[in-house]
Amino acid sequence: MTEITHMKQPVLAAAGGMVERDVLYSTQDLAAILGVSPRTVERWRQDGRGPKVTRLYQNAPPKYRGLHILEALEASAER
């Protein structure tokens, strides 16, 4: 698990501020984790940027696996 230190409290409070690798997060959850608006997350998805999207069935709302969120954060980190 990777600790996120600047989290909005309600989003991951149950997980102790951690992004769980095998949990599916909603667009709103991801926006709160990253500190951006849900609309920004939607725009990234439309542009093919950001974490990979998981859909549980055709036309299901997008979900984001914690593993993919962590991978996207790692890939976007400045070196």
User: What letters, b where the CB count within 10 A reaches 16 and e where it falls short, cover 31-58?
Assistant: bbbbeeeeeebeebbeeeebbebeeeee
Prediction pTM value: 0.76
| pLDDT interval class at 7 (50, 70, 90) | very low
Nearest to 67 by CA among 15, 18, 23: 23
- 13-70 per-position pLDDT tens digit: 555 668 889 999 999 999 988 889 999 999 999 999 999 999 999 999 999 999 999 9
Residue 49 near residue 75, CB atoms below 8 Å:
no
Q: What is the DSSP string of 17-61?
A: TEE-TT-EE-HHHHHHHHTS-HHHHHHHHHHT-SSPPB-SSTTPP
